[in-house]
Amino acid sequence: MHELSLCENIVASIEEAALKEHFNAVVVVHLGIGKLSCVEPEALRFCFDTAIQGTIAESTQLVIEIFPGLAQCNHCGANLEIENYYDACSHCESFDLKILGGEQMQIESLEVM
Amino acid sequence: MCTVCGCEDKHGHPDSVAGNGALAVDKSVSRTLTLEKNILEKNNVYASQNRSFCYSKQILSLNFVSSPGAGKTSLLVDTINSLKSDFSINVIEGDQHTSNDADKIRATGASAVQINTGKGCHLEAHSVGHAIKDLQPAQQSLLFIENVGNLVCPAEFDLGELAKVLILSVTEGEDKPLKYPHMFRAASLLIINKIDLLPYVDFDMAQCVRFARQVNPSIDVICLSVKTREGVLPWFEWMTTQQTKMNREPD
């Protein structure tokens, strides 16, 4: 369950930002999670509720934006959207794909008071 | 080594700035702070420090990952016994509990540090950095990090290794690359272990390699048996190739 580790990292980043930016409460945390990242959004939500207890982020709303997996086929050059690393090119069926996006797991922004 | 946080996990609570008149914020209005920060940034900073240290001393550092029981420790023991006359070798052992694996490694004469992760399912770069500091690995030595047996979580956590080595045993089934694609994607080398058992199990080697390359077209594959020692030479040669590459392309 590495999602709990990830949530603890998110809380640590929020606490760091609070010291630097001088806010007292976080209303919303916006995350950007790529489809190809090793993160299960539902597990992340579940762990987030536990990780924020007793921290500045307590009662913060979690908003997760999912980004598609993007790849370019090294064989035929087509640009495509993929769901998994083991997907084949939808044009030529090659598995030799260059990943262009969708691996991120980012804290995009915070709405703070 | 620990220059980011000075090894203090407790960061000051932001409440401490709330009473400061000069810094007080207007609580009636919320504002948006753009962070665009990788969730694992902190781990990645520690990992970069570990990697820079290893590069600066030309230490070949490998992160061994597998499901429990695939043969990581046996492979390490065999590798150390074969190479200890030529290299100084240090091992970082990650397990939830016990120091059994570190004890097995120390019995070979190599230095080992055991990290017990407790409920944690993977090693993180911070504790690995401390273990490196404890071990004080020599110039041009080998550093083996044996991660917690788990084909999921260790994939996301960079420890600062030069490469991840994934060990799969033939008793586990050839479809593992498709079931655990992140780990197979993150690994540079796939070692298929226990090939002495091939006559007794239904394991399709060619299919397994096809699946692994479907997930990660550039993954190297070596098939061996730690028990019979069949195929161990290509594994040693692979490490030599990595050392040469590392010395040619500094970080």
Q: What are phi and psi of A103, to 5 degrees?
A: -105, 0
Residues from chain B that touch A17, judged by Cβ atoms under 8 A, are 33, 35
Position A63 pLDDT exceeds 60: yes
- In this prediction, residue A2 carries a pLDDT of 87
The more confident residue out of B29 and B21 is B29
* Average of per-residue pLDDT across B181-197: 98
Position A76 pLDDT exceeds 70: yes
Band of pLDDT at residue B250, cut at 50, 70 and 90: low
- In this prediction, residue B146 carries a pLDDT of 97
- In this prediction, residue B106 carries a pLDDT of 96
Tell which CATH architecture fits domain A2-68+102-112. Answer: 2-Layer Sandwich (3.30)
Q: Under an 8 A CB cutoff, do A85 and B42 touch?
A: no
Lowest mean pLDDT among A10-24, B25-39, B133-147, B223-237: B25-39
Conformational region of residue B7, where left means phi above 0, alpha means psi within -120 to 50, and beta covers everything else: left
Is the CB of A6 inside 8 Å of chain B's CB atoms?
Answer: yes
DSSP H helices in A22-74 = 41-51
- In this prediction, residue B85 carries a pLDDT of 97
Band of pLDDT at residue B23, cut at 50, 70 and 90: very low
Domain boundaries, chain A: 2-68+102-112
pLDDT, tens digit (0-9, with 9 covering 90-100), for A34-62: 999 999 999 999 999 999 999 999 989 99
Per DSSP, B143 falls in state: E
Q: Under an 8 A CB cutoff, do A108 and B34 touch?
A: yes
| CATH topology for the B41-246 domain | Rossmann fold (3.40.50)
Band of pLDDT at residue B11, cut at 50, 70 and 90: very low
- In this prediction, residue B12 carries a pLDDT of 37
Q: Which of these, B65, B238, B250, lies nearest to B146 by C-alpha position? A: B65
Q: Under an 8 A CB cutoff, do A24 and B14 touch?
A: yes
- In this prediction, residue A95 carries a pLDDT of 94
SS3 content of chain A, % helix, strand, coil (to 5): 25, 35, 40
Instruction: Dihedral sign for Cα A31, A37, A41, A46, please.
Output: negative
Mean pLDDT of chain B: 89
Q: Which of these, B63, B81, B214, lies nearest to B128 by C-alpha position? A: B63
Residues from chain A that touch B40, judged by Cβ atoms under 8 A, are 6, 9, 105
Cβ burial of B88 (10 Å; 0-12, 13-18, 19+) is middle
Q: Which member of B25, B35, B121 has the closest CB to residue A23? A: B25
Nearest chain B Cα distance for residue A46, angstroms: 17
- In this prediction, residue B10 carries a pLDDT of 45
Give the number of residues written for chain A.
Answer: 113
pLDDT, tens digit (0-9, with 9 covering 90-100), for B77-129: 999 999 999 999 999 999 999 999 999 999 999 999 999 988 788 999 999 99
Conformational region of residue B98, where left means phi above 0, alpha means psi within -120 to 50, and beta covers everything else: left
Which segment, B2-11, B20-29, B173-182, is predicted with the most confidence on average? B173-182
Lowest mean pLDDT among A102-111, B18-27, B221-230: B18-27
pLDDT, tens digit (0-9, with 9 covering 90-100), for B126-165: 999 999 999 999 999 999 999 999 999 999 999 999 999 9
pLDDT, tens digit (0-9, with 9 covering 90-100), for A7-31: 999 999 999 999 999 999 999 999 9
Is the CB of A85 inside 8 Å of chain B's CB atoms?
Answer: yes
